Amino acid sequence: MLSNLSIKNYALIDDLNVSFTNGFTCITGETGAGKSILLGGLSLVLGKRADLSVLRDKDKKCIIEAEFEIKKYKLRSFFKSNDLDYEDLTIVRRAILPSGKSRAFINDTPITLDILSQLGNRLIDVHSQHQTLQLANNDFQLKLIDALADNSAILLSYSELLGEYKKTSEELSELVDFQISANKEHDYNSFLLQELEAAKLKPGMQEELEEQYEQLNNVENIMDQLSKGDQLMNDEQVGLMALLGELKQVSHKLAAFGNNYEELNQRIQSVFIEMDDISGELVALQENVEANPNLLEQVGGKLQVLFDLQKKHTVGTIEELIAIKVSLAKSVGVTENLEETISLKEQELEKIIKELTALAKTLSERRKKVIPDLKNQLEKSLDTLGMPSATFQISLKPASDFKSNGNDDLSFLFSANKGMDYGELKKVASGGELSRIMLTIKSILAKYEHLPTMMFDEIDTGVSGEISNKMGDIMAAMSKTMQVFSITHLPQVASKGDYHFKVYKIEEGNSTRTEMKRLSQNERVVELAEMLGGKEVSDSALAHAKQLLN
């Protein structure tokens, strides 16, 4: 419930701070005193957009703060999902800066206007005669039926499953679209993949082939150089091995004359062994080198294939070609397996549809059972509100698709008088009739679910005294289980309140400000008397006011 409201620098309000309790609170005041200003300020803290025109003093910021006791509202999940600190006594604050910027806070945590609006809708239900168009909304009408049918748990399961249905449907649609596109590219991708697979690509193979090609292409030059090297090593007169043999003998003789000579001998011995090994390698290489035109052609052909593939795919390395091959293999594989994937997704969707249909059927059956009771309650309540001939035709029929709240198309028709054709509420009901219907619906809802604070803004406009008395009784009855406010100009309604606040203007010099105060019992009598007979309060008006209060 709303426990405290503070408004600073808003329109005609300078600095207003007022506390409320549970029960039925009536707010009265002369036309133009600022009742609508008070409601406008409250709407800002509930998430309505604002502009600089709301600032009383254009150089100061406007601050509106409301305290709510929310222990019974089951809002912990909302606070958690929006990363907000939960408090049983929650403080909502809105600031409108002179610059035009707006800031909003929940328990001192900055939040967006969207989050503020979402919370506001859960805290206060503001209803005025101009908002009765909601009555014509099928979702609102079904909400009333679902409240009577106690469908909240089933609706939650349905909503979760509907989310899965939409997600799976989108996935299936994407798969089908992909299949259409993939089939067009499948043959070409398969051809490219076959080309790459035929090349038997391996990391480093290009370097190996290029080296092999260079050797085969220069075989005569290689043989000439190897022969020349062998001659330099093994010539009997001036070959390196003959000269090293003589040097080896010299160093061997010197080795006996000291360690330094022995070390030199060892080094020369090592050089001789290494050169002897090199000599053998030169001979072996000469034996293995031979011209092979066929192999040269094969290697050249493989290299040309690699170069052509690199050019075709605009890459420069074997590794990049391998990566393309892997990607193509995956694409071709996915395309070839799409039929199975789509089939499995279709089966998954069929299962969800079956479960969703069963839940929708359960909702529909439970709704149909309570429609007669709802019709009876509506007509009975409207009878007490001066509409004895008001009747409803309420029926359900299966919808063509799954909706957010089931699979029903609702027909909610109304006739205010005997012999009058049934029609949609917004077409056949007057403003006063819509107000009474809305009040009746809200009173019925209050019996079946925990509604937030209800604020009726002059819902009794255009209603006669006796009917307004009945409307006041209904609002008073609702206040036994919830907090109810009524901004009213009728004394019959105001007298029903547990608490009575008056909104009034004070003129000082060249300025005017709006104030609000809670009336004592005696002050209530005077206020009601003025509402009955004007500023000149008569004894009969006072007596009538006391009678209303009693």
Residue-wise burial string across 404-433, b where 16 or more C-beta atoms lie within 10 A, e elsewhere: ebbbbebebbbbbeeeeeeeebeebbeebb
Distance CA 398, CA 278 (A): 96
Q: Which residues pair with 69 in a beta bridge?
A: 89
Q: Comparing 451 with 357, which gets the higher pLDDT? A: 357
pLDDT band at 524 (very low <50, low <70, confident <90, very high): very high
Distant-in-sequence, close-in-space partners of 459: CB < 8 Å, separation ≥ 6: 127, 128, 129, 435, 438, 439, 471, 486
pLDDT at residue 334 tops 70:
no
Question: What is the tens place of the pLDDT at every residue in 67-101?
Answer: 999 988 889 989 999 999 999 999 999 999 988 88
Phi, psi of 197 (to 5 degrees): -65, -35
Q: What is the pLDDT of residue 88?
A: 93
For the chain, give the longest Cα–Cα distance.
154
Average pLDDT estimate for 433-458? 86
DSSP one-letter string for 486-531: EE-S-HHHHTT-SEEEEEEEEEETTEEEEEEEE--HHHHHHHHHHH
Mean pLDDT score, 431-458: 86
Confidence (pLDDT) at 379: 94
pLDDT for residue 155 is more than 70:
yes
List of residues 6+ apart from 421 with CB closer than 8 A = 415, 428
Residue 386 DSSP label: T
For β-strands 24-28 and 499-508, DSSP reports them as parallel
Does 547 have pLDDT greater than 80? Answer: yes
> What is the pLDDT at residue 79?
93
Quickly tell me which residue has 């909706």 as its tokens.
403
Between residues 413 and 73, which one has the greater pLDDT? 413
H helix count then E strand count, the chain: 17, 15
Rounded CA-CA distance 356/83 in Å is 32
- Distance (Å, rounded) from C-alpha 262 to C-alpha 272? 15
Encode pLDDT of 227-272 as tens digits.
888 778 877 767 888 788 878 888 888 888 888 888 888 998 888 8
As a whole number, mean pLDDT of residues 184-190 equals 70
Name the pTM for this structure. Answer: 0.67
Do 446 and 478 touch, CB atoms closer than 8 A?
A: yes
Residue whose C-alpha is closest to residue 88's, from 21, 14, 198, 1: 1
pLDDT at residue 535 in the model: 77
287-308 residue pLDDT tens: 777 777 787 778 788 888 888 8
- Could you read off the pLDDT of 1-39 as tens digits, one per residue? 999 999 999 988 889 999 999 999 999 988 777 787 888
